[in-house]
Chain A
């Protein structure tokens, strides 16, 4: 038996430990948190959130050193796991937004949940899945990364076990997530069946040209895109989003609407740019329809919402449509511009949306309400909060000079560069929707600045320190990306993101 194994030519895979360091730090950190939680006294549980934050920052460190050392592509396991500039930028994004979510959660979990250790363990696991997703260049790795980031998220959405809305959120997210996984897996197996490889690059070579596309290949591509459309809550696969966002604890809502969605877009870009770049006759019309419908329906539904979390949920559905837009012209337009537009949009949207949710958390500590009407008089008793919320809302609406403006600019630029009738139509639809979206953001601003407080209670809001830190990080990022595009490191980041190593 042993002789047979020796005889078979097994080569030990080359492992580049420096390149894998972020994953290793996170993996060790997850185990450490589970053990640490066992030995901490109940009164010292707050340490868990601090340690979780430190683990995330510790994992950012190797990402930075890898970025500084060089721009050469580190490829492992036969090109199935690749560290290039694209993956480094997104790893940093996932880890830092994870850190902001930890900052947002710390006070909330201390006060309200007895299971802090498990909360942060699950959060870190989900982030680890996203970090993996950024490097995965193989259908198997993509799928494992997706399950890695989804399974803890199902549990986190159902975190408030006594709250029926949270139970509903967890259940809906789980059922629809599993359904989407099944559809996607079916598509992946079809793709593997017709191409004979799970590596994205091999699939890209096998799916060649428009005239050779086989029916099964088309189905595989469509099913895989549908699976990820669920993940990024593109209409008509968005139905889970508002209920889940409303039922989940607010920091988790922020996490799902930013990081989890970004991971879905990362996977979608990997597939579009690596696995089926030649099949643009299939994915472009499909993504075009998804983008147009997502932007429009998300906006129209957001207009009617009375609850701020639901409003932000539909607004994030609509923002997802803007990120789909460059992907819908990735084949006819310039692939580099499209990819860069997607990455830049993801970064800026992450900063802005996390910030908006941090303000929602701070305000609800006083008002204990999620109604938009409860934001009346915010400027009178909490001018700082009202100002940063205005910053985030203006950025989401795409008003210069805030970050969201630059993100939208990039998306429109990518679409217009395609120079086709369909692309121009999509740009017009998006432009009309940008104007419509301003309506509900401005409604909230008017509520904060003009209206009196609904119950006359004008005592100041006490914002916990960690939440202030989260607000400062996201606020500075939102402002800096808008005011100084192309300045200092930012130009380098967008430049990096364009280079897509294989």
Chain B
């Protein structure tokens, strides 16, 4: 059963990922990204990480892909992008070679460490009770405990980071008042 679920989910992930890269239409590419993200969510469920699976579906498959689609719509899907323009002829074969090499390296590393007894494989967060009681998913309790004790500073500061990201985005999108016109210092060439 485990194997079956894994094979199906893995096939979903791989097909989706291939679709993102190969499909010509940006909307289709974004939709096959949803397939990949769903596949990952299925894998999370198979690992008993239900909370993570739900978050994955809501945040990634939901919010982020919708955002992608919005941007694609705003930019206009009808415009034809010529993907065959190549400034450097060697780039594409080089990218293929290095991509294949990287994939080979990863597979080799995983295969090589397959039989080693890796410390605490799949142990997950400390204190997770894999046996769920009736009301709660043990994951949520463990996750929140971890988030609000060990990582509380990083967690709180991330909120500041979000504010800053908003400030930067507004600034980037805002129409300037025309003072920052001409570059006049060291950068002028």
Contacts and interface: CB of A to CB of B under 8 A. Distances in A.
A125 interface: yes
Interface in B158-179: 158, 160-161, 163-165, 167-168, 171-172, 176-177, 179
Contact of A77 (B152, B172, B176): B152
A378 to B, nearest CB: 14
Interface of A: 1, 4-5, 8, 10-13, 20, 23, 27, 30, 34, 76-78, 80-81, 108, 112-115, 118, 121-122, 125, 128, 132, 138, 140-141, 144, 147-148, 151-152, 154-155, 158-163, 165-166, 193-196, 206, 212, 214-219, 246-247, 249-250, 307-309, 360-361, 364-365, 368-371
B179 A219 contact: no
Contact of B150 (A1, A78, A125, A215): A78
A165 B148 CA distance: 43
Contacts of A118: 167-168, 171
Contact of A163 (B119, B141, B163, B187): B187
A219 B109 contact: yes
Nearest to B112: A215
A194 B116 CA distance: 10
A144 B119 contact: no
29 contacts: A5-B141, A8-B141, A10-B149, A20-B153, A23-B153, A76-B153, A80-B150, A114-B176, A114-B179, A118-B171, A144-B154, A144-B161, A152-B168, A155-B172, A161-B172, A162-B176, A162-B181, A163-B187, A193-B121, A196-B119, A214-B112, A214-B113, A215-B108, A216-B110, A249-B187, A360-B186, A364-B186, A370-B187, A371-B189
Residues of B in contact with A, size category: 35 or more
Contacts, number: 169
A246 B105 CA distance: 36
B149 A250 contact: no
A308 B186 CA distance: 8
Interface of B: 105-106, 108-113, 116, 118-121, 123, 135-136, 141, 145, 148-154, 157-158, 160-161, 163-165, 167-168, 171-172, 176-177, 179-189
B113 A368 contact: no
Given A121-B164, A216-B110, A140 B172 contact: no
Contacts of A8: 141, 145
B120 A196 contact: yes
Contacts of A212: 116
A384 to B, nearest CB: 19
Contact of A30 (B112, B160, B171): B160
Contacts of A163: 180, 183, 187
A165 B183 contact: yes
Given A113-B180, A118-B171, A152-B168, A364 B153 contact: no
Given A206-B119, A219-B105, A365-B185, A114 B177 contact: yes
